[in-house]
Chains A and B, each alone.
Chain A
Amino acid sequence: MPPLLQIEHLSVRFDTDDGVVAAVDDVSFALNRGEILGIVGESGCGKSATALAIPRLLPMPPARLSPASSIRLDGLELTSLPVPALRALRGARIGMIFQDPMTALSPLRRVCDQISEALRLHRRLSAAEARHLALDWLVRVGIEDPERCARAYPYELSGGMQQRVMIAIALCHDPDLLIADEPTTALDVTTQAQVLNLMQALCRKTTALLLITHDMGVVWRMCTQVAVMYAGEIVEQAPAPAFFARPLHPYAIALLEAIPSAATRGRPLRAIPGQVPSALAWPGGCRFAERCLCAHPDCLTQHPTLAAARSDAARLVRCPYADENTP
């Protein structure tokens, strides 16, 4: 059986006044039902662009996909799917939770109507039934006074409440693929736990989840697979337990060391020195070379490929020295 989601050679370009921004470069991965893939990485490295490309929600132009890009859902090629079919698919089979809730919610309509609409798109429900289910979903995402929330307009809700309304809309029609772009950043940890449990329960059944987050604790708790992105590329991809036991890519290692905690109190955090290079002109060699503490002379000229790690063929890493770098 083919994987539920198969992405191959995905490249996203933005045509801007300054030139072409190579936001996503030759990204490939597959995701099966029941799997949760966590994508982590530097801000601006192309996580959202990757996620938005799947249901074709990138603004085109300025965005475009390179001709080699292929995105298949259950074998169906999405990059060339006609718009009406795509639109139907988006609602029915793909659930999206965005980084910014206000882009997904309509500002002038009550919360209840927005959830009911999502529910009634795929099931024949009377208005009263839909309303009842909508309230039920507000409770399931941890809203304490669902009646008030249902009647409210989005601007009358706190950031976290808006985010949960969007989560309810994404989850309520039982999608095959759930794409969640920082779904819990505006939520407190107890509500976050509730929402994560909900998503996890969904994935135990038949859904695959693509989870973008900056919170390594969330990745640890939720994900079966981890992909680390840097400068538009995947630099490491591994089963989650192996990744946390021993990250291989120098960027991934540095990322895990930058987590603030009680142990870091009173001293500076280990930030990675320097900046991500400009997406207008990626450097020719390793894109992390300028900031890499283990860089070798040829790192500046040789662009490393994403290849199986020597120590573990089940993991991919974009650094020929990865196995030497780690203790």
Chain B
Amino acid sequence: MKTLLDIRDLRTWYPLRSGLFGRVRGHVCAVDGVSLQVRAGETLGIVGESGCGKTTLARTILLLAKPHSGEILLDGRDITAFDAAERVAYRRAVQVVFQDPFASLNPRHTILDAITEALLAHGLISRRERRETAVGLLADVGLGPEALDRYPHAFSGGQRQRICIARALALKPRLLICDEAVSALDLSVRAQILNLLESLRTKHNLSYLFITHDIGVVRHLADRIAVMYKGRIIETGPTESILGAPQDPYTRALLEAVPVVGGAHNAALSINRVLPEKAATSAT
């Protein structure tokens, strides 16, 4: 399989300030030397502790956060070498569905606007085609046309997440980053969406970077898994080998903590933090 996205030794730091606009006291090394490849048409699952830098990694790939150092290559070309047109193409090729469906929809835009805004901006459809296109996209995620003229507040969390997915798919991306995209969904809608993502993957040779806390979901759909811990990838490999024979103690602890129907019941799970503390902050 061809490599679509190649990430090399990426670091993204956030400044630590003493007040809202105060002096910089140091940095949080949210992404601290990540290297990974996403191949064309594959699903790479990223799992890891809360706060380990998964969203920051996604934001960096999406050009929403500026890396401190490192390289991002699309089709083997460093994206910093892209001209303006290529950057626009890059932004289209890499789309995202975030974990928080509440924050990602503008409350003053109707669903029709939300879904077709980017399509119109990129000149991909005419104004006349927009309703028809939007109806099709909504149908793909299991929503009816009556949703079009309503505002986000009138939808439940799961319904909003479906709208976000429809919006991301509208631009026909090559890489879709899903940051906890299905965690707000109920089981049957989740099953529908996972089936949908799977069918789109084969149809459009789409790749997924699937960030999730749900081990069952990665078990079901990821080709490979990368385990992240404190800003770094500590283990990566094919799904069966990572989940079947995890090498790293953190990965083992992670897998043991998964609650499954039929598993440990009403008994306190033992949680031991396995890796030695590594200071997450560093002074400058």
Q: Which of B249-284 contact A (CB under 8 A)?
A: 253-254, 257-266, 268-269, 271, 273, 277, 280-281
Q: Is A221 a contact of B266 with CB atoms below 8 Å? A: yes
Query: Could you mark each residue 266-293 of chain A with 1 if its beta carbon is under 8 Å from any beta carbon of chain B, else 0?
Result: 0011111001001000000000000000
B267 (CB) vs chain A CBs: closest residue: A221
Whole-angstrom distance from the CB of B23 to the nearest CB of chain A? 13
Complex Cα distance, B49 from A191, in Å, reads 7
**Cβ–Cβ < 8 Å partners of B277 in chain A:** 144
Whole-angstrom distance from the CB of B60 to the nearest CB of chain A? 14
Q: Is B20 among interface residues, defined by CB-CB distance under 8 A?
A: yes
Q: Is A220 a contact of B188 with CB atoms below 8 Å? A: no
The one of B50, B99, B150, B183 that contacts A191, using a Cβ cutoff of 8 Å: B50
Q: Is B47 a contact of A260 with CB atoms below 8 Å? A: no
The interface residues of chain B, by DSSP majority, are classed as: loop
**Cβ–Cβ < 8 Å partners of B102 in chain A:** 100, 102-103
* Residues of B within 8 A of A (CB-CB), count: 68
Complex Cα distance, B215 from A187, in Å, reads 12
For B103, B214, B220, which residue has the most chain A Cβ atoms within 10 angstroms?
A: B220
Whole-angstrom distance from the CB of A109 to the nearest CB of chain B? 10
A255 (CB) vs chain B CBs: closest residue: B187
A200 (CB) vs chain B CBs: closest residue: B268
Q: Is A324 among interface residues, defined by CB-CB distance under 8 A?
A: no
Complex Cα distance, B66 from A270, in Å, reads 41
Query: Could you mark each residue 54-66 of chain B with 1 if its beta carbon is under 8 Å from any beta carbon of chain A, else 0?
Result: 0100000000000
Complex Cα distance, B269 from A103, in Å, reads 30
Q: Is B220 a contact of A185 with CB atoms below 8 Å? A: no
* A residues in contact (CB < 8 Å) with B: 14, 16, 18, 21, 40-45, 48, 99-100, 102-103, 108, 144-145, 148, 153, 156-161, 164, 182, 185-194, 196-197, 200-201, 214-218, 220-222, 244, 254-256, 258-262, 264-265, 268-272, 275, 278
Smallest CB-CB A-B distances: 4 pairs? A43-B158, A160-B50, A217-B259, A260-B220
